[in-house]
Amino acid sequence: MPMTTQAQVLELLDSVADPEIPTLSINDLGIIRDVEVHGTGQDIHVVITITPTYSGCPATSVIEADIRDVIGRAGIQNVSVKNRLQPAWTTDWITDRGRQRLLEAGISPPACCASHPLPDDTDVVCPYCQSHNTQVLSRFGSAPCKALWRCSDCLEPFDYFKPH
Amino acid sequence: MNKILEVDQTRFELLLRLGDNALILGHRLSEWSADAPALEEDIALTNVALDLIGHARLWLAAAGQAEGQGRSEDDLAYLRDVRDWRNLHLVELPNGDFARTMVRQFFFDSYHLLLLEGLACGRDTEIAGIAGKVVKEVRYHLRHSSNWVIRLGDGTEESHARMQQALDDCAPCVPELFEADQIYLDLESLSIVPEIHLLKSEWEHQVSGVLAEATLQMPEILSAHTGGRQGLHSEYLGYILAEMQFLQRAYPGASW
């Protein structure tokens, strides 16, 4: 029976897509805080600690179910998924690969560091023509994490991932 | 031992107050779904509603644990009767027109943000953890409602008049925000909640700044609607619960 390591579990988790933005894996999203592997063989127990994103985001419970599913298909049935609220999730934890994947999917990644209490979003890039000449249409969008913007050069509307 | 039980009971009450405000206002805002004046606003109001219902879930789950009777967040949301609800009168106020909804939201968001910032630095680590998470969402709510108050107050003659009327409608619910009963004072002495007089003066300072920019007048408050935290509500709450709880009451344990 091969050993299962933390790195292998992390690799499995990389195939779990965010249900709202499937171009991102949950690793890209930066919600995995900790992976513990206890025991070996039949007695293996995996504990995954995640930090949920938005409080009301319906994706949260889907992500939990998908994690169990992916780990289960790798032959590990004993999986616990724990939530850790503190420190709160922030878009600063989205990985560089995640930001790149957002851009490729037509979603502008957060323009500034979220540690500022209420970011001004002054330098939002258009994912289609890379112009920085953009304007906000609505602070709320198709998902809790997104706002609706428009490019003033190519005139395309686009989703903006809000700094949070 | 008794001391610990008392603290648990006090925490339970606080968690219910926080959860009930979020859930009732979230429900109210969800009534705008597919009915808002513009598509963007429809999306905004339902997003805020979704955030608040998410907050309610966190607070009520924690309340169930603090109570220790095995009640889940769903039990607390769907199986309590009017007298057991701890929300403020402000959040059960009907939506009215868009102006009323925005003034109600602005009053609540301003209070909510200050309260959460205080809780996030408070001594109760579980409550501080939840507050530290949800406060980030509430900053967006307040920016949204403040912007509308300014735009509509300092807008047309019609929008200004409607906003002034909305202030008259919502003002009687303001004194209740800053009423400190024994439970609040106990929590204050444990450094779990922010000091009520600071909360009040900061709220007044911030709200008057936005209202001045909106060219609106805060009306004189002649009568106050209070008692929500003790379970004394307006008739509106009963109608909200009838709609919100119907399914679980008619089909106990239903799920999908």
Per-residue model confidence as pLDDT tens digits over A95-115: 999 999 999 999 999 987 776
Give me the residue spans of the domains in chain B: 2-250
Q: Which of B158, B233, B170, B161 is nearest to B207 (CA)?
A: B170
In whole angstroms, what is the distance from residue A75 CA to residue A69 CA? 10
Is B57 in contact with A55 (Cβ distance < 8 A)?
yes
Closest chain B residue by Cα to residue A143: B47
CB contacts, 8 Å: A86 with chain B = 125, 128-129, 132-133
Closest chain B residue by Cα to residue A56: B54
Please state the rounded mean pLDDT for residues B142-161.
97
Q: Which of B65, B86, B70 is nearest to B13 (CA)?
A: B86
CB contacts, 8 Å: A89 with chain B = 133
Q: Judge whether residue A118 has pLDDT over 70.
A: no
Is B50 in contact with A56 (Cβ distance < 8 A)?
yes
Interface residue A113 vs chain B (CB under 8 A): no
pLDDT digits (tens, 9 = 90+) for A42-55: 889 999 999 999 88
CA distances from B65 to A15, A92, B62 (A): 34, 32, 5
Please state the rounded mean pLDDT for residues B190-219.
97
The distance of B31 to chain A (nearest Cα, Å) reads 17
In whole angstroms, what is the distance from residue A145 CA to residue A57 CA? 9
* A6-83: CATH number: 3.30.300.130
Neighbours of A137 (CB within 10 A): 14
Upstream peptide bond of A2 is cis (omega within 30 degrees of 0):
no
Closest chain B residue by Cα to residue A51: B133
Q: What is the pLDDT of residue B53?
A: 97
| B10 DSSP β-pair partners | none
Which of A50, A55, A139, A148 would best serve as a mutation to test chain B binding (most B beta carbons within 10 A)? Answer: A55
Interface residue A93 vs chain B (CB under 8 A): no
Q: What is the pLDDT of residue B1?
A: 46
pLDDT digits (tens, 9 = 90+) for A58-70: 888 899 999 999 9
Give me the residue spans of the domains in chain A: 6-83, 99-161
What is the 8-class DSSP label of residue A61? H
Least confident of A83-87, A115-119, B161-165: A115-119
Q: What is the pLDDT of residue A1?
A: 41
Interface residue B48 vs chain A (CB under 8 A): yes
ipTM of the assembly? 0.84
Burial class (CB in 10 A: 0-12, 13-18, 19+), B237: buried
The distance of B27 to chain A (nearest Cα, Å) reads 13
Q: What is the pLDDT of residue B5?
A: 62
Pick the CATH number of B2-250 from 1.20.1260.10, 3.10.20.600, 3.20.20.20, 3.30.200.20: 1.20.1260.10
| A38 DSSP β-pair partners | A45
pLDDT digits (tens, 9 = 90+) for B128-142: 999 999 999 999 999
